[in-house]
Structure formats: C-alpha cells, structure tokens
Chain A
Amino acid sequence: MHSLTTLAARGGRAALCALVLLGAFAAPAHALDRADVAPLGGDDFDAKSAAIDRLIALHDAASLALLKALADDSVNATDSGEVLIQDADSARDAATGQPVAAAVAANAQPVTLNNLLRSKVAGALSGLQLASPDVDTRRAAIADLLKNPDPAMKPLIDAARAKETDPALKKRLDTLWAMTALHNPDAATRLEAVKLVAARDDLDMYELLRPLVAKSASGAWNEPDARVRAVAQQGIDALNGIQRRSQIVGTLFAGLSLGSVLLLAALGLAITYGLIGVINMAHGEFLMIGAYATYVVQTLFQHYAPGAFDWYPLAAIPASFVVAAAVGIVIERLVIRHLYGRPLETLLTTFGLSLILIQATRMLFGAQNVEVENPSWMSGGVTVMQNLILPYNRIAILAFSLFVVGIAWAVLTKTRLGLFVRAVTQNRRMAACVGVKTARIDSYAFAFGAGIAGLGGCALSQIGNVGPDLGQSYIIDSFMAVVLGGVGQIAGTVIGGFGLGLASKAIEPFWGAVLAKIAVLVLIVLFIQKRPQGLFALKGRSAEA
C-alpha cells in the first residue's frame, strides 16, 4: 500500500487514488447492497442524488469504485435494476463485485448524470481523497472542495478534520467544515461556522454570507439567530472593505499604466517642442512607425528564428528607435528646418506629413490592423489581490517607460549633446554665439524625439492594435501631458503623463470614459489659468515667455 501512496502524489482523481483509499477506509460499517445502488439505474435524478449521498456516507471500497466509475461514465444499468460497472471488456455487479454474464451486460443502458450530479460525484471523489495519507493529495482535495463546497461532504470533512495534523491544512479544513456547517440545525455550530467563513477574507464567500442576512419572501430572516446574522454582517462589511481596496489599487494601476503610455508618447514631443517651439503633429506617426517596425521584426523572427521568438523585443526596441529616428531626421532636413520661426505653419505642415505617412503606411501594410504577438513571458498576469490581476505586458510597459525616461534624462543631462540641447532650448541665440551648431543640434534632437516616440510605438504594439491610425489617438492626450507638465522638462512630462493618466482613470468609474476625457480637458484649461507655463516652468525674464 505504501509504495502505491507515493505514486498517488498530486494525482488528482487518478485510479491509483481509489486503491489508496481502499486502505484508508477499511472495514466499513455497512456493505453496499443492491437497494443502495438501484436508484442509479432509474430516471429520477433526486433519487440518484440520494444514492450518491449514500455512497459518500458509506465511503467503502465498493462505493468508491462505483463513484469512480460514475465519474468515468462507465456505469450501466439493466432494466431489471442491476447496476453494472463496465470494464474494458467485462462487466461486474456494482454491489457484489461479481462478474456478470456478457448477455446481461449487452442489454444494459448507460447511467446518465446531469451537471449537478456530475459535480457532486467529482466533489465526492475529492472528499474521499481528504483521507489520503499524502499531504499534497489532501491539499489538492481541500482546494477542490473549497471552490465548490457541498454539505453532503460533511461526514468526510468531519472525519478528516479529526485526523488532520498539518496546521495549515487543518485551518483550511476548518473553513471547509464551516462552509458545509452553515445550515447545521444547531445555532452554536452555525455561529462557529460563520465566524470561520468570515475570517477567510475571500470575496467568493459573499455568496455564502449574503443569504444569511437577507429576509425571505415572507419577511422572516433566513437565519433565525441574531448573533449569527451579526457575525455574517461583519464579514460582509469586511469583504466590502477588501473589494474597495482592490478597486482603489486597480484604478491606481490602470492610471499608472495609461500614464506610462502617455508618457512614452509625450516625452519625445516635449523635447522637440521645448527645443524648436513646434508641436509636431506627425509625432503620433512616429509612434505608428515604431509599432510597425516592431511588427516587421516580430514577423522576421517568426519566419527565421521561431525558437528565439520570446526574445524579439530585444531586437525590436533598437529597430523601432532607429527607424523612427531615421524618418525623423529626413523630415527635419527636408521640411521642418525651412519653417523655423513660423510655428503655426509648421503645425499645419507636420499635419500634412502625418497624412502622408498614414497613407503611405496604408499602401505598404494595408489599411487593416496588423497583429503583433506578445512574447510568451509577457502574457498572463500576477494576482496581487483577489479580483485584481495585473497583466504582465502592462507592468512591462510601465517599467519600460521609466527606463526610457531614464535614458532621456541621461542623454539630456550627462552627454555633450544633451548640454547643447538644453542650451539651445534655453537661449538659442546665446548658444549660437558661443559656438553651438544650433542647426545640427536641432536635427539630432528632432531625431532623438522621434526615436523615443518609436520606442513608445514599440511598447504600444504590445498592448493595443497596430494600425495606420495608431498615432492619431495619442497626439492630443500627449500634448495635454506636455502642457500640464511644462515645456521642455522631463520631470514635468513625467508628472504630467502620470497625472493625466491617474486623473482620467479616477474619474472614469463615476462619469464614463468620454465625460472623463472632457472633464480632464476642462481641468487643464482651468489649470493653465493659474500656471500658464505648466507645473515646471523654465524661469526666465523674457517678455515673450
């Protein structure tokens, strides 16, 4: 028996468990007789249910084998009321275990179960495993039963509770017992049960607790004992608190996630706007270019290196930066450079560029969205609280956005190029006077901003649709982030992006997405009444500022 026990580890409801249980439930009080099993062959589901309960109560070897066979759909019944367990090529009587003649077996019809009975049988098998000497098997059985507690399991749970030695499992068994004891006729037992259920802090327990504090149609309390009701109410209140907390954390995360996306979109914009004083309306299209670059890299990996597919972001990140930066530098050299000093016309021109880029993408890749697959390590999520799963791809993007901010910060503050960019942003003429080649700095900075947008596009491709219109939806929001934060300031853009994201998501549950967007816009217009230069303004004495 013991050699078999080890084999049964984690085995769920494998046939081996049945053998294990043979030992566990030796010497039953009553043997299974034909009257016990006969209802299984009938048409009355209530009678079948009662028969299954009886099998559970008996929990001996024969009843266990029958339950097992029921779960496997290998139980047949003859018209004369004999219940047979069908093996591969022979049949035996369920009650006596004796083989039956093939002629009898040939006339038997399969016993049918409805879904309710099926789950009852499955639960019963779990229940019987509660007595397994193997800790893992018991743990799995308890977990199964906690999902779907059945008062019929009470005798099995009572028996297991008396014997359990592992303290953690003992605690869970107590809960399990409480869930099955909620309708016990004894008020003291119910009270103890409710206390245990409430102490679980599990949102699934709502369904068990709520009926206890409700009134039936006739106006009487479902639960007659006031003490039990009070404890149940306390439990419900505690669960409400948990739900509220998880909602707050969820909103916070959604806001940060939206903020990180806005941040990625706005960061490049803030750099070019601060430097050249131009809103690049084609900025969204650099996001789109970055996303399509990711798509191309992903497709190449699918075709030529499917084994390394999980690592394609490592190639896609530099590719999206380089492609977007290259397009950026071409656009700057060909068009934007000739419009310096005419910001409003530049606005229109960049809008035209965005139209051209969108149409070109449509012709190259088609107007339909393309599919960018997540690498496998980015799918799924981590459960931080009940009811709250944070998807890995969102977490990855949040981290990535901070990484990009770090890079931008390092480039702007630690490199010579960054020094020049800051100098030109603050005072173009003075910078030119001391020998900064401002035109070249403009090109590099524009390309850098475009490249950062490309990185943003690479990130966006992991959470949303990639289509030619991808960038259009971000340009307004990302500009709002820039306005909020102050022009040409990385810190401002970070605060602006996250602030906008959090504000939108905080308002959304109350007013809906559209009104939240409008409310945020109105808030920004009111905000710039107070701080026309944004949160972090460059200090200067220019009258035109």
Chain B
Amino acid sequence: MTTAPPTTASGPGPYDAPAPHGSPGRDTFALGLPARAPLLTRRAWLALISLIVAAGIGVPVCALVLPQSSALHLSAYTMTLTGKLMCYAIAALALDLVWGYCGILSLGHGLFFALGGYAMGMYLMRAIGHDGVYGSSVPDFMVFLNWHTLPWYWQGTQHLWYALLLVVLVPAALAWGFGFFTFRSRVKGVYLSIITQATTFAAMLLFYRNETGFGGNNGFTDFKRIAGFPITHPGTRTVLLLLTFTMLVLSFIGARAIVTSKLGRVVTAVRDGETRLMFLGYSPLGYKLFVWTVSAVLCAIAGALYVPQVGIINPGEMSPGNSIEMAIWVAVGGRGTLIGPIIGAFAVNGAKSVFTAYFAEYWLFFLGLIFVLVPLLLPNGIMGLIGHVMQLVARRRKNG
C-alpha cells in the first residue's frame, strides 16, 4: 500500500469508508486507487483467443481425424499427460492465489485436490454399475469388506450433477471451517503451513483406513464410463481434455478478475502488511477466508478433472510431499503472477516425466535441487527471469 498522507479533520477518516476514496474537491493530491488494471491487455486477449481456437480445432482433429500413423496424431498417452499437466496447472493457479497474493503458503492443497478427485471418483465408481469384477451393485472394494449396502455418504452419488456439487461443496466447507478457525486466531506464516500439512497428513491416514469407506489403500480405479460414455474412448478423452483446457482458461480469467478487483488489492495488502492493514481498520478474516475457499474449490475442480483422465485416485494424492511439490511448481513459475504457476506446473512436471522415464534414480536429487536453488537464485521464478531479461533488452535498446 502506498503511504497515506495525513488527512485533515474534514477529510474522509479511515473509519468512514472501508476503502479509501479519492476526494474530488482536492486536486493537490488524490487519495485513491489508480485505475483498475484491465482484465487482459489487448495483445493478451488476442493470444488467448487464438490459443482457444487452435486448441478447439487442433485437438479434435489430431486426436480423432488424423490416422494413428500421422506424426501429428495425439496418442492416448499424450492426451492423458497433457490433461494431467493442465489439471496440475489449475491446482498451481489455485495455490498461487493464496500464496502469491495472500501470503498464505498452504502445504495442504493436495487434500482439496484429492477431495475433488474422490467426489468425482465416487460417481465414477457408481457408474461402473454391475460391470465390476463381482457384478455387485456396490463397488468392488465394499464387496471385499463384506458391506452390502452403501454408507450414507455415498447416497446420491450415482448422479453426476450431485457428484459435481460435492466436488465444490465438500472442499469449500472444509476450507471455510479450517480457515475460519486458523485465521481467526491469527495463525500465519510457517505455523499455518505446517498445520495445513498436518491436516492433509491426517486426512491421508484417515483415507488409508478401509473402514472410512473410500477404498482404503487402493482408492478408486477401474472406471468404465462417464455420463454414459466409455471412459477410455478417444472421443471421451478429447472432450475431457477440452473441458480441462476450458477450465484452465476460465480459472485464469477468474483469478485475474479477483486479483485486479478492490478485494484483490486488500488481499495483496494482507500479504504485504497484515498488521498495518488491521491498524487501518480492516478485518483481514473475511478477505482471507474468501480467497482461501475459492482457491480450495479451484483445486478440487482440478482434482475432479484429473481423476477421469488418469483413471485412479488413492490416498497417496494426500501425502504431504505431493502438496509441497505443488508449492514448488508455483515457486518455479513465479508466484504473484498468474501465468507463472501455469508455466511452473508444466515445466516441473514435464521434467518429472522425462526424468522418471530416463534416469529415475536422480529425480529426487533434481527435485531437491530445484527446491534449494530456485528460492536462492530465482526468487521470482521463471517469470521473474523473463522480466529481468526484458528489462535488460529494453535498457540496451534505449542505450544503443
């Protein structure tokens, strides 16, 4: 926040207005907000729209029309990988919203991701119907446990709309409840990070139990169909991939709308000086809760899109390590920017695919090195590096 000049007695006091307004009567100084940044610049809109068009036409053509022999043909592997990376990108965007803009480093976003995935997985398990190994009306793992009826929380999950509702509501409720209790008692910084990590750890232990009713160790897998379409069919895959892409674009625009709004400014102020903001008369609780809940829901949606494409969800997704990896995607891409986390998610996970395929043993070393070197050498990530280079180029051009 800019330092506020002293207000006179007649001027608007900090208690009159929650957000400082410019007072039109004075032209010596304007106490107010600069104009709201545009949602996207004209060039960015252009680039985004052309990307949408290219993906909207290119993906179906490459996946369905081109023959398998063609070099441009999208194989099932490529589509799964791309879909997975885009889901990770949405999750990274969600994490950036709280970390990059609100200063809350969550090491438990994997929990929301997995909860979304589990809600979707419940529907997918029910959609198997009687085609499971045991041909029973309950999912196979319940047959193992000798359960004959569905537990109460499985009621209604045979409807896709209800599962989608769960995808949004369950993580939202959990995030709101958790956020309410922790933010209210002003838990922040590393304290909060560790508590989020402990939460996802506890949830992982809970989901590993068979009696919890979510398939224990193995989680959900062996899905057959979604909304009546066979789940491994290339057409279904294409639709899912395009849906994920749409979701990614929408969340990007949505996040951009949030961070450029007035609310977004207050959220940024929470990040930069929460105590000072409180002295100015704001209560950060509502702002933090809003961003935190939105972020959790976004993450859950990413998880819900992830499960039908990857075909499995198990409690391993909730392991603390997974959530910490999400943070490194954001750090690598550059937090506090919206394009950064998307780049970071693609870069780190792309590297992971390459490493695990060719030198699996060194992946942990490499990942560890990223964790160590990025905060040391690239505090603002790839986006920071790009900005730095652009500045250099601009200065050269100016001088030369």
Q: A343-358: contact bitstring with B at CB < 8 Å (1 yes, 0 no)?
A: 1111111011111101
- A476 in contact with B201 (CB, 8 Å): yes
Q: B254-266: contact bitstring with A at CB < 8 Å (1 yes, 0 no)?
A: 0000000000000
- Would you list which residues of chain B between 178 and 213 have a CB under 8 Å from chain A? 178, 181-182, 184-187, 189-191, 193-195, 197-199, 201-202, 205-206, 208-209
For chains A and B in complex, what number of residue pairs have CB atoms within 8 angstroms? 113
* Set B105, B194, B206, B376: member contacting A476, Cβ < 8 A: B194
Question: Which residues of chain B have C-beta atoms less than 8 A from A480's C-beta?
Answer: 198
Residue among A346, A354, A355, A358 facing the most chain B CB atoms (10 A cut-off): A355
How distant is the Cα of A351 from the Cα of B324 in the complex, in angstroms?
A: 8
Known contacts A348-B331, A351-B324, A476-B198, A525 near B190 by CB under 8 Å: no
Known contacts A348-B331, A358-B364, A517 near B205 by CB under 8 Å: yes
A314 at the interface (CB under 8 A from B): no
**Which stretch from B117-125, B156-164, B239-247, B366-374 is at the chain A interface?**
B366-374
B60 at the interface (CB under 8 A from A): no
Known contacts A344-B190, A514-B206, A544-B275, A529 near B328 by CB under 8 Å: no
Interface size on B, residues (CB 8 A): 44
Question: Which residues of chain B have C-beta atoms less than 8 A from A526's C-beta?
Answer: 181
Q: A252-281: contact bitstring with B at CB < 8 Å (1 yes, 0 no)?
A: 000000000000000000000100011100
- A352 in contact with B202 (CB, 8 Å): no
- A345 in contact with B194 (CB, 8 Å): no
- A355 in contact with B194 (CB, 8 Å): no
**Chain B residue at smallest Cβ distance from A335:** B372
Question: Which residues of chain B have C-beta atoms less than 8 A from A352's C-beta?
Answer: 328, 367-372
- B375 in contact with A353 (CB, 8 Å): no
- B190 in contact with A347 (CB, 8 Å): yes
* Set B190, B206, B368: member contacting A359, Cβ < 8 A: B368
How distant is the Cα of A348 from the Cα of B320 in the complex, in angstroms?
A: 12
- B199 in contact with A483 (CB, 8 Å): no
- Would you list which residues of chain A between 487 and 533 have a CB under 8 Å from chain B? 514-515, 517-518, 521, 524-526, 528-529, 532
Shortest Cβ distance from residue B152 to the other chain A in the assembled complex, whole angstroms: 19
Residues of chain B whose beta carbon lies under 8 Å from any beta carbon of chain A: 99, 103, 105, 107, 178, 181-182, 184-187, 189-191, 193-195, 197-199, 201-202, 205-206, 208-209, 275, 320, 324, 327-328, 331, 361, 364-365, 367-372, 375-376, 379
Known contacts A356-B372, A476-B320, A521-B199, A348 near B327 by CB under 8 Å: yes
How distant is the Cα of A360 from the Cα of B201 in the complex, in angstroms?
A: 25
How distant is the Cα of A449 from the Cα of B186 in the complex, in angstroms?
A: 28
**Chain B residue at smallest Cβ distance from A473:** B201
Known contacts A476-B201, A544-B275, A355 near B367 by CB under 8 Å: yes
A338 at the interface (CB under 8 A from B): yes
**Chain B residue at smallest Cβ distance from A344:** B105
Question: Which residues of chain B have C-beta atoms less than 8 A from A359's C-beta?
Answer: 364-365, 368
A34 at the interface (CB under 8 A from B): no
- B202 in contact with A543 (CB, 8 Å): no
- A344 in contact with B189 (CB, 8 Å): yes
Other CB < 8 Å A-B pairs besides A279-B194, A351-B324, 16 of them? A279-B193, A339-B376, A344-B105, A347-B193, A348-B331, A352-B368, A353-B368, A355-B364, A355-B365, A356-B365, A359-B365, A359-B368, A479-B194, A525-B178, A525-B181, A525-B199
* Set A279, A517, A544: member contacting B190, Cβ < 8 A: A279
Question: Which residues of chain A have C-beta atoms less than 8 A from B187's C-beta?
Answer: 528, 532
- A525 in contact with B195 (CB, 8 Å): yes
How distant is the Cα of A521 from the Cα of B190 in the complex, in angstroms?
A: 17
How distant is the Cα of A342 from the Cα of B379 in the complex, in angstroms?
A: 10
Known contacts A277-B190, A343-B190, A359-B364, A521 near B371 by CB under 8 Å: no
How distant is the Cα of A359 from the Cα of B361 in the complex, in angstroms?
A: 8
How distant is the Cα of A525 from the Cα of B184 in the complex, in angstroms?
A: 12
Shortest Cβ distance from residue A262 to the other chain B in the assembled complex, whole angstroms: 14
List 30 A–B pairs whose Cβ atoms lie within 8 Å, in order of A's numbering: A279-B194, A342-B375, A343-B189, A344-B190, A344-B193, A348-B324, A348-B327, A348-B328, A349-B375, A352-B369, A353-B368, A353-B371, A355-B371, A356-B368, A359-B364, A359-B365, A363-B361, A476-B320, A514-B208, A517-B202, A517-B205, A518-B206, A521-B198, A525-B178, A526-B181, A528-B182, A532-B185, A532-B186, A532-B187, A543-B275
Question: Which residues of chain B have C-beta atoms less than 8 A from A360's C-beta?
Answer: 365
Question: Which residues of chain A have C-beta atoms less than 8 A from B208's C-beta?
Answer: 514
How distant is the Cα of A529 from the Cα of B372 in the complex, in angstroms?
A: 33
Shortest Cβ distance from residue A367 to the other chain B in the assembled complex, whole angstroms: 10
* Set B105, B206, B364, B376: member contacting A335, Cβ < 8 A: B376
Question: Which residues of chain A have C-beta atoms less than 8 A from B184's C-beta?
Answer: 529
- Would you list which residues of chain A between 438 and 481 have a CB under 8 Å from chain B? 476, 479-480
Question: Which residues of chain A have C-beta atoms less than 8 A from B103's C-beta?
Answer: 344
**Chain A residue at smallest Cβ distance from B274:** A544
How distant is the Cα of A430 from the Cα of B373 in the complex, in angstroms?
A: 32
- B371 in contact with A514 (CB, 8 Å): no
- Would you list which residues of chain A between 398 and 440 have a CB under 8 Å from chain B? none
- B182 in contact with A525 (CB, 8 Å): yes
How distant is the Cα of A338 from the Cα of B376 in the complex, in angstroms?
A: 7
Question: Which residues of chain A have C-beta atoms less than 8 A from B324's C-beta?
Answer: 348, 351
Question: Which residues of chain A have C-beta atoms less than 8 A from B328's C-beta?
Answer: 348, 352
- B375 in contact with A345 (CB, 8 Å): yes
How distant is the Cα of A543 from the Cα of B369 in the complex, in angstroms?
A: 36
* Set B181, B206, B364, B371: member contacting A348, Cβ < 8 A: B371
Known contacts A335-B376, A347-B190, A518 near B205 by CB under 8 Å: yes
How distant is the Cα of A517 from the Cα of B232 in the complex, in angstroms?
A: 39
**Chain B residue at smallest Cβ distance from A513:** B205
How distant is the Cα of A514 from the Cα of B379 in the complex, in angstroms?
A: 38
Question: Which residues of chain A have C-beta atoms less than 8 A from B368's C-beta?
Answer: 352-356, 359
By Cβ-Cβ distance, the 5 closest A-B pairs, closest first, are A352-B371, A355-B368, A356-B368, A345-B375, A359-B364
Question: Which residues of chain B have C-beta atoms less than 8 A from A358's C-beta?
Answer: 364
Shortest Cβ distance from residue B126 to the other chain A in the assembled complex, whole angstroms: 26
Shortest Cβ distance from residue B343 to the other chain A in the assembled complex, whole angstroms: 18
Question: Which residues of chain A have C-beta atoms less than 8 A from B369's C-beta?
Answer: 352, 356
Question: Which residues of chain B have C-beta atoms less than 8 A from A543's C-beta?
Answer: 275
Q: A320-356: contact bitstring with B at CB < 8 Å (1 yes, 0 no)?
A: 0000000000000001001100111111110111111
- B206 in contact with A349 (CB, 8 Å): no
How distant is the Cα of A335 from the Cα of B375 in the complex, in angstroms?
A: 10
**Chain A residue at smallest Cβ distance from B376:** A338
- B194 in contact with A529 (CB, 8 Å): no
Question: Which residues of chain A have C-beta atoms less than 8 A from B107's C-beta?
Answer: 347
Question: Which residues of chain B have C-beta atoms less than 8 A from A363's C-beta?
Answer: 361
How distant is the Cα of A355 from the Cα of B365 in the complex, in angstroms?
A: 7
How distant is the Cα of A277 from the Cα of B182 in the complex, in angstroms?
A: 19
Known contacts A344-B193, A544-B275, A528 near B372 by CB under 8 Å: no
How distant is the Cα of A486 from the Cα of B98 in the complex, in angstroms?
A: 26
How distant is the Cα of A338 from the Cα of B369 in the complex, in angstroms?
A: 15
Question: Which residues of chain A have C-beta atoms less than 8 A from B190's C-beta?
Answer: 273, 277-279, 343-344, 347
- A348 in contact with B275 (CB, 8 Å): no
How distant is the Cα of A532 from the Cα of B361 in the complex, in angstroms?
A: 42
Shortest Cβ distance from residue A94 to the other chain B in the assembled complex, whole angstroms: 60
Question: Which residues of chain A have C-beta atoms less than 8 A from B189's C-beta?
Answer: 277, 343-344
* Set A349, A479, A515: member contacting B371, Cβ < 8 A: A349
Question: Which residues of chain A have C-beta atoms less than 8 A from B181's C-beta?
Answer: 525-526, 529
- Would you list which residues of chain A between 354 and 410 have a CB under 8 Å from chain B? 354-356, 358-360, 363
How distant is the Cα of A360 from the Cα of B364 in the complex, in angstroms?
A: 10
- B372 in contact with A353 (CB, 8 Å): yes
How distant is the Cα of A383 from the Cα of B16 in the complex, in angstroms?
A: 73
- B191 in contact with A483 (CB, 8 Å): yes
How distant is the Cα of A271 from the Cα of B83 in the complex, in angstroms?
A: 45
Question: Which residues of chain A have C-beta atoms less than 8 A from B186's C-beta?
Answer: 532
Question: Which residues of chain B have C-beta atoms less than 8 A from A349's C-beta?
Answer: 371-372, 375-376
How distant is the Cα of A338 from the Cα of B199 in the complex, in angstroms?
A: 30
How distant is the Cα of A542 from the Cα of B371 in the complex, in angstroms?
A: 32
**Chain B residue at smallest Cβ distance from A512:** B209
